[in-house]
A and B are shown apart, each in its own frame.
Chain A
Amino acid sequence: MLNHFAIFKTTGFLYVTPGMVLMWFIGLILIYLAIAKDYEPLLLLPIGFGILLANLPLAGLMNPGEGLLWRFYHYGIQWEIIPPLIFLGLGALTDFAPLLANPRLIFLGAGAQAGVYITFFVAHAIGFTLPEAATIGIIGGADGPTTIFLATKLAPQLLGTCAVAAYSYMAMVPIIQPPIMRLMTTDKERKIRMKKTRKVTKLEKLAFPIVSTFVVILLVPAAAPLIAMLMLGNLFREAGVVERLSKASQNELMNIVTIFLGLPVGATMNAETFLQPKVIYIFILGLFAFMVSTATGILLAKIMNIFSKRKINPLLGAAGVSAVPMAARVVHKVGTEADKKNYLIMYAMGPNVAGVIGTVIAAGIFLTLLS
């Protein structure tokens, strides 16, 4: 009898806490949203499962130095390997031609970053430390890997929460953005048709990743890991002579690193670190960041229209957040509601990809000033 009880004590059942049960529930919600609602399933599914694993007693998967998920986290994320590799795949998937055809749209990618800094300011004002506030603010950039990269460096204790907030809100771009877009633009503005842009040559597309690498890294050296990989991936794509590397970056590598990103990020969310009142503030501030980024992008487009003869459809400003290509699709959808023949998708891809670069620069500036 005594032996049976001793064996029972080695199982996890005796050590389950109410906090762990609550975390299982949160993990299952994320898995449900990924499977049933198709909300960023590539990330939310492994994150949700990682939450379940991290909250199983005695499993020790996140025990420093020995746990399996801890090793994924330590060598993959803390060593800054996985987020830059995601950027390599992202670069190989991204066509910068819409931006090169209409370079002034790059400023809309910058305009949306104002939301990042406004949220940073607000988060610090309500009691978060400067590094924590920066990590929360970057959620507004709508860029998951950059959020994870910055959180790992500045506020690792917020990594899981900020990553889940960023990916959740990215999935909800079609719900969050349209009301703000309609509120901030008139029907007449939404009907503005963009002028046909020039053709971008192959040589120009080839030169862009090299030129951007120099410009961004010289300006913000702290952003080098992300921008270097983004532009290398794009160079693979545009070079046309390394199709195998381009395809591998877009598919196999991207898929593998996505698994090793989501699982350990979810595993950082244990009951002790996640079940705190400040988590609610982070989710509210993350949503605020998204909304303000959308609004500032639109506002900048309207300001540019005051000084420009060639009018920009202000809806394009909302694509300045870097949720690629979701934000561009939303712009197109809202545009066609006002004018069925107004095809904005290709124009919206310009600020959309500029937003990726803008968020990386914003993160680099945070790192330079705060780390």
Chain B
Amino acid sequence: MSNSFIVFISGITGVFCGMALLYFAIRITSFVTDKIEMAKEAKK
């Protein structure tokens, strides 16, 4: 397999994996921050 093909495949896979990881990080952050906000509201 040529070097350019390896970079091509690794690059596309890397970008999608990176963005997928960021997606899940955002979802988890949203979940946690929503819970914190709800807890704050409940205290009030």
User: Interface of A with B (CB < 8 Å)?
Assistant: 99-100, 103-104, 106-107, 109-110, 113-114, 116-118, 120-121, 124-125, 130, 133-134, 201, 203-204, 207-208, 211-212, 214-216, 219-220, 354, 357-358, 361-362, 365-366, 369-370
Q: Which of A117, A120, A219, A369 has the most chain B CB atoms closer than 10 A to its own CB?
A: A117
Q: Closest residue to A104 on the B side, CB-wise? A: B23
B21-44 residues at the A interface, CB under 8 angstroms: 21-23, 25-27, 29-30, 32-34, 36-37
State in angstroms the CA–CA spacing of A371 and B17 once bound together.
21
B7-30 residues at the A interface, CB under 8 angstroms: 7-8, 10-12, 14-23, 25-27, 29-30
Contacts of A110 in B (CB 8 A): 15-16, 18-20
B4 in contact with A215 (CB, 8 Å):
no
Known: A203-B37, A207-B29, A215-B25. A366 touches B18 (CB 8 A): no
A365 in contact with B36 (CB, 8 Å):
no
Q: Closest residue to B7 on the A side, CB-wise? A: A369
Contacts of B8 in A (CB 8 A): 117-118, 120-121
Contacts of A208 in B (CB 8 A): 26, 29
Known: A121-B5, A215-B25. A106 touches B19 (CB 8 A): yes
State in angstroms the CA–CA spacing of A117 and B16 once bound together.
12
Is chain A's binding surface mostly helix, strand, loop or mixed? helix
Contacts of B33 in A (CB 8 A): 201, 203-204, 207
Q: 4 smallest A-B Cβ distances: which pairs?
A: A110-B19, A124-B4, A204-B33, A361-B18
State in angstroms the CA–CA spacing of A277 and B9 once bound together.
29
Given A104-B23, A204-B34, A365-B15, 13 more contacts at CB 8 Å? A103-B26, A110-B15, A110-B16, A117-B15, A125-B4, A130-B3, A130-B4, A207-B29, A208-B26, A215-B18, A219-B21, A357-B22, A358-B15
Contacts of B18 in A (CB 8 A): 110, 215-216, 219-220, 358, 361
State in angstroms the CA–CA spacing of A212 and B24 once bound together.
11
Q: How far is the CB of B20 from chain A (nearest CB, A)?
A: 8
B12 in contact with A103 (CB, 8 Å):
no
B25 in contact with A220 (CB, 8 Å):
no
A107 in contact with B12 (CB, 8 Å):
no
Q: Closest residue to A359 on the B side, CB-wise? A: B15
Q: Could you pull out 26 A-B pairs where Cβ atoms are within 8 angstroms?
A: A99-B26, A103-B30, A107-B19, A107-B20, A110-B16, A113-B15, A117-B7, A121-B4, A130-B3, A133-B4, A203-B33, A204-B30, A207-B33, A215-B25, A216-B18, A219-B14, A219-B21, A220-B14, A220-B18, A358-B15, A358-B18, A361-B15, A361-B19, A362-B15, A365-B14, A365-B15
Q: Which of B3, B7, B33, B34 has the most chain A CB atoms closer than 10 A to its own CB?
A: B7
Q: How far is the CB of A120 from chain B (nearest CB, A)?
A: 6
Q: Closest residue to B13 on the A side, CB-wise? A: A365
Contacts of B36 in A (CB 8 A): 203
B11 in contact with A219 (CB, 8 Å):
no
Q: How far is the CB of B38 from chain A (nearest CB, A)?
A: 10
B3 in contact with A215 (CB, 8 Å):
no
Contacts of B15 in A (CB 8 A): 110, 113, 117, 358, 361-362, 365
A114 in contact with B12 (CB, 8 Å):
yes
State in angstroms the CA–CA spacing of A316 and B44 once bound together.
40
Q: When the two chains form the complex, which single residue of B4, B11, B14, B26 contacts A100, counting CB atoms closer than 8 Å?
A: B26
A117 in contact with B12 (CB, 8 Å):
yes
